[in-house]
Copies of this chain bind each other. A is one copy, B any other.
Amino acid sequence: MEDRTDNRAKILESAVHLFYQRGYDAVGVQEIALAAGVTKPTLYYYFKSKLGLLEAFLKEWCEPACIRLEEIAAAYQGVPSETLYALACTLVDIAKENREAYFLLLSLNYSARENEAFKAVFPYMRRMFRAMTGFFTGAGDKLGNMNGRQEQFVISFQGIINHYILVMDEREIPPEEFADPHAIWELVRQFMYGIYS
């Protein structure tokens, strides 16, 4: 019995791995089942479709990640740079804990808008965006007059962090290296104070 429920996890794991490696559309369910050591109907028993497989991943992995970020943003207590640093560290931590899952998420976020995979991921990315927008709005008193520039800040901040993580991935830098606290602080510092220092 225990190796049966284990099958579900193995399928999801194989799916994330293959989606990460070659892309959602480029991978067939057949291949996922094969990699998980099961047959296709078993896959369709747990996840009713290929998209259901992706949605299960989002609900079980991405959702908790969203919550972590929302909690940090909500816990803001008056030191913007610390919260920003905490947010950046958490993002990198999430990437470190399950590297493939995080890169899959980013890839999907940057993929074609009418793609069904993108549509499934978009709500989760918007949640993260809104959590941070809320933080910037709340931190307005400490960051000077932002008059509507909160969104621009979030765009930049997210852009910097995500692009950093993606470039680290491209170069196959191991997580323990790219998750270096000092490097992350440098990114945050640069974001806040500019490239002069």
Contacts and interface: CB of A to CB of B under 8 A. Distances in A.
B186 A192 contact: no
Contact of A194 (B20, B160, B191): B191
Interface of A: 19-26, 104, 106-107, 109-115, 117-118, 122, 143-144, 149, 152-153, 155-156, 158-164, 166-167, 169-170, 183, 186-187, 190-197
A164 to B, nearest CB: 5
A114 B159 contact: no
Q: How many monomers of this chain does the complex have?
A: 2
A195 B183 CA distance: 19
21 contacts: A23-B25, A23-B111, A23-B115, A25-B25, A25-B26, A104-B112, A107-B112, A110-B111, A113-B170, A143-B196, A152-B183, A152-B186, A153-B195, A155-B163, A156-B164, A159-B159, A159-B164, A162-B163, A192-B195, A193-B194, A194-B194
A93 to B, nearest CB: 19
A118 B103 CA distance: 14
A114 B22 contact: yes
Contacts of A20: 112
A21 B112 contact: yes
